[in-house]
Structure formats: structure tokens, C-alpha cells
Amino acid sequence: MEDAAVLVLRLTLGSVFLAHGWPKVFGPADGVHGRGRTTRLLTSKGLPVPQVLAWGVGISEIVGGALVVVGLFVRLAVIPLAVILMGAVVVVKWNKGFEDGWDWPFSLLGICVALFLLGGGTWSLDDLLGLSI
């Protein structure tokens, strides 16, 4: 049962990050979603080099999400994802309160922590390749 639970956590977290990272990297820079929206949000929060940060977040979400889905370097892959989520909570969502505010990124952060503790599980490339990372 634990193997199935870890697989569900991996597929859930990875698919969310792939879906959110893809438009940040491959969507139009001036679009209402993706990189344009992320750049405007980061600019409004006064963060430096918002265009670069938006690209970095998008690439981290795609690469991290893909690694988590296939179960490769899971413990390492969730670290940047957790940092992105902590940034979302503190910089973007905190003032909105828990409900309809930082509840969603906080939930995903919990999945990151669980996967960091558990690793990729038996049904992962980490296990298939004999990696203990």
C-alpha cells in the first residue's frame, strides 16, 4: 500500500508542477497566464529581475515535475519545488489568509515534505536504478 501511496503523491505533485511550469516557459511572454502573468506578479511584489525569476520558476517546475512523475532523484527534485511553494506562501498568498489564500501551496508543500522523507518508492526510476538519493 505504501508504494501505491507514494506513486499517487508523485503523480499528483508532478502533474501540478508540469501543468503550471509549461506555460511559464513555452507560453507567450505577454499572455494572461504563464510567464507574462508570473513576471507581472513578481514585478508587483518588488522582486529583482522578475523576467529571469519567471523563467527560473517555470524551468524548475517543468524539470522538477517531470523528475517527480518518473521517480528520478525525487528527494532532490522536491527541494526547489518546496522553495517555490514557500515563496508562493510568503510573498504572494500570506496576506489572503489560509482559506482561499495559502492553503493550496501549503498542501503541495506537505506533499513535497512527504516525498522528501519517503523518496520515490518502489515504483520509481530511483528504485529501478538502485539510487538511494
The model scores a pTM over 0.85: yes
Question: Which amino acid is present at 107?
Answer: S
Q: How far apart are the first and last CA of the chain?
A: 22
Residuewise pLDDT in 10s, the chain (133 residues): 899 999 999 999 999 999 999 999 998 777 777 888 899 999 999 999 999 999 999 999 999 999 999 999 999 999 999 999 999 999 999 999 999 999 999 999 999 999 999 999 999 999 999 997 7
Domain range summary for the chain, segments of one domain joined by +: 2-128
